[in-house]
Structure 1
Amino acid sequence: MNVNKTASIDFFADLARQHPSWRWYAIADSAQNPALPAALTGAGGTVQSLLGATQGSPLAEKSPHLVSLDHPAARSAAWQWIMRTGPHEPSVTLLASTLAFGALFEQLKQFTDIRLPDDTEMFFAFWDPAILGTLVGQPDDATLHVKGPVLDPDQRKLLCGGLNGWWYWDRDGVLHAIAIDANPPAVRLPKPIKLSQAQVDELVEASLPDHVLFYVDLNQPHLLDDLAPRARYGYVERQLTDAKHLGLQTMKDLVNYVCMTLVYGARWKQDKTIADVLARVQRRELKFSAAMELLP
């Protein structure tokens, strides 16, 4: 399926008319928007936390929920909220399936955990649009830091089991449709899928710009004042490329590097003294923490 830059309720209503057996759902992440899932359940739709949390509990208030939606053609308040909000924040993805709510819930819930190479089980936010695109290797999503696919073909088939369609908005507000094999069966896993170390490394890298941006915003928010919110991720991503070229690896060094580029602005790449200090870092003569003390 191809990218859709002008998606509207009409787009989904047309799909629903072409596929009358499809039922419509959303994964709504209350950790990204506290208005969820209530914003999508005003008409009495079924809702359940994918983490198994009791509705109204503290955990449920910070967890993803599967929410049943009415027919897109009804243009309900839920659909209007999704189309208005989805392009601007990673809080909701849309799904179509012939499965009833309970069956789809059980299908999706089993992927909220994964196994690491040492068999340790770990929480797995597969519904996060930035992670979802990388997991499946969404070919038309230019905003992905790691293009993927991280999952192998068999794992992707398992994740999409029971689904007929899955849509998400990228960082630029563009809608993408995940390519799903015709009628993939729902699955029951005896235990969570296991990732290789290479897959784990790719997922860690995929989330790195977001984590660095989070810490910059947490500790030095004023440094971001001159960057438009939508420009910040791309800026951090570009600076991380330069930081890694210097050999920086720790989160502390990467965050400090980005902060220094914001402090110095254009001077960062023009000042000879700065260039000389960074060259010493690259030659491993200086740690970056020590190098910062030598900056003009």
Structure 2
Amino acid sequence: MTLGIIGGSGVYDLDGLEDARWQEVETPWGAPSDAILTGRLGGRDMAFLPRHARGHRLTPSDVPYRANIDALKRLGVTEVVSVSACGSFREEMAPGDFVIVDQFIDRTFARAKSFFGPGCVAHVSLAHPTCARLSRAAAEAARAAGVTVHEGGTYLAMEGPQFSTRAESEMYRAWGCDVIGMTNMPEAKLAREAELCYASVAMVTDYDCWHDDHGAVDVATVVRTLTANAEAARGLVRGLPERLPARDAPCPEGCDRALDHAIITAADARDPELLARLDAVAGRVL
């Protein structure tokens, strides 16, 4: 088992790794967001990728999601914990709290959302888009780091980069969403296609703009809370290896077998060029 961490806003590095080094990884989908920091932590192989690149150079729409997931898979990553900033739609999910997301509503529209396409069509299940086993370990590690944790929540993924209007914020609350962010989609979809266990840790920075007592969300407010959340996120990561035993059997959630019955295109009708690009992501079934 190799654990991959995708660091969101405010989390651009990971300290404490043994034999740490930044590696450039080439993929058929282009370059990932940045080099990937690899090493060992608590006896576990680790790989860390800053989603927005060091220095926060990439907007949510410009993150190369396919290249990021492919690069992690090429490095042998089997479990991915995504850490990202979010706004909250619930009074009880306060700034500084962490929400372990288990459902998504995808409102993004300007991003490539699948590794598959013409020449090799596949449909994976997203009924349960996160790995419950990995999510439990992330929740336990966050609590051990002193964070207030909410297990379970629906994440509304918006395109951005602008924040919500008040009307949008109220609508998403009425839909039953708990938090809002800009980066977990299509990341979670691609992780499922790549047969990776995926957990989403959403770090609350603000109340979006629905909350009368907190005013409209702005970058200054977000950054202040991000700074406090970043160290808590590193504490979560440091506590993950001991709470995530190596597994010598298939994932009980079935994440590592997501493609077993997903590919629809007949073998003799598949596009060889696309198949070559899928070598890391879908090599097990192709």
Task: Determine if the TM-score, normalized by the shorter chain, exceeds 0.5.
Answer: no
Higher alpha-carbon Rg: 1
Higher relative contact order (CA 8 A, sep 6+): 2
Q: TM-score, normalised by structure 1?
A: 0.31
Structure with greater proportional helix content: 1
